[in-house]
């Protein structure tokens, strides 16, 4: 997508739902970036009249959007601020726990995205069919769990799911790296001229001798 919604809250609680909503603005026409992840810098400024200005800047195009929030737009009173600060201290442990769960969940989702993209970039000929099917099945299983079964999940649950995916992905990468290492170790032990072209010999990685492709002048 080429836009980002910026929602503004005030408060000291760890979760958005426990803070005071002030407003929202949209930054549009954001240029596409690598992997589609824009870098947005958000700054907050309060003037002498208590007017809050929130500005978002796309770090690639330097395009900016902002919103001004006055005291009449749902800002907290001093007594409400004091009450919110008291709640922040009272629920500090609960907020830390919720924050940890959220971080673990987002880390799992990010790892899934990286894994899917990595699989798209790897040549199918280098991956055993059963390894690919196992990983794809595990990705689908975890996605279904996120959609339907993770409502009451804790930090450890999200971390456990990520480890399951890492195990499946690591098995694939280990086999690919081992096959690559074995191939080049074989080249070192071959007699002169029997290595691959890249290694000073006459053979392609497929095993074909390029001398067989050269017609005999006689």
Instruction: State residue 47's pLDDT score.
Output: 85
Q: What H or E segment, with its residue span, contains residue 85?
A: helix 78-90
Residue ranges of alpha helices (H) inside 122-216 are: 129-144, 155-189
Instruction: State residue 160's pLDDT score.
Output: 93
**pTM assigned to the model:** 0.56
Residue whose pair of structure tokens reads 């390029």 in the numeric block? 210
Strands (E), the chain: 4-10, 20-27, 40-46, 52-58, 64-69
Asked whether 112 and 139 are in contact (CB, 8 A), the reply is yes
Q: State residue 120 phi and psi, 5-degree precision.
A: -70, -30
Q: Where does residue 161 rank: exposed (0-12), middle (13-18), buried (19+ CB within 10 A)? A: buried
Those residues with Cβ within 8 angstroms of residue 28's Cβ, 6 or more apart along the chain or in another chain: 2, 3, 65
Residue whose pair of structure tokens reads 């000073």 in the numeric block? 200
DSSP conformational letter for 49: T
Render each residue's pLDDT in the chain as its tens digit; 218 residues: 678 899 999 888 888 888 888 999 998 888 776 555 678 899 999 888 778 899 999 888 888 999 988 877 677 788 888 888 898 889 888 888 888 899 999 999 999 998 888 888 777 777 778 888 888 899 999 999 999 888 888 999 999 999 988 888 887 777 776 655 554 555 445 454 454 544 445 454 555 554 555 444 44
Instruction: State residue 37's pLDDT score.
Output: 63
Q: Domains of the chain (ranges plus CATH)?
A: 4-90 (2.60.34.10), 94-186 (1.20.1270.10)
């Amino acid at each position: 997508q080429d836009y980002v919604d910026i929602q503004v809250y005030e408060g000291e609680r760890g979760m958005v739902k426990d803070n005071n909503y002030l407003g929202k603005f949209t930054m549009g026409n954001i240029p596409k970036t690598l992997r589609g992840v824009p870098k947005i810098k958000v700054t907050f400024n309060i003037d002498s009249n208590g007017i809050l200005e929130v500005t978002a800047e796309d770090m690639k195009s330097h395009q900016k959007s902002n919103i001004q929030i006055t005291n009449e737009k749902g800002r907290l009173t001093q007594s409400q601020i004091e009450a919110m600060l008291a709640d922040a201290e009272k629920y500090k442990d609960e907020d830390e726990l919720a924050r940890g769960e959220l971080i673990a969940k987002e880390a799992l989702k990010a790892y899934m995205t990286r894994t899917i993209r990595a699989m798209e970039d790897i040549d199918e000929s280098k991956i055993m069919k059963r390894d690919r099917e196992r990983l794809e099945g595990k990705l689908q299983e975890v996605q279904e769990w996120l959609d339907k079964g993770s409502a009451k999940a804790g930090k450890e649950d999200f971390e456990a799911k990520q480890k399951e995916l890492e195990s499946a992905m690591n098995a694939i990468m280990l086999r690919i790296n081992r096959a690559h290492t074995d191939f080049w170790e074989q080249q070192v032990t071959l007699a002169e001229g029997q290595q691959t072209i890249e290694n000073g010999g006459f053979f392609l990685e497929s095993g074909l001798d390029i001398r067989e492709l050269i017609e005999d002048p006689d």
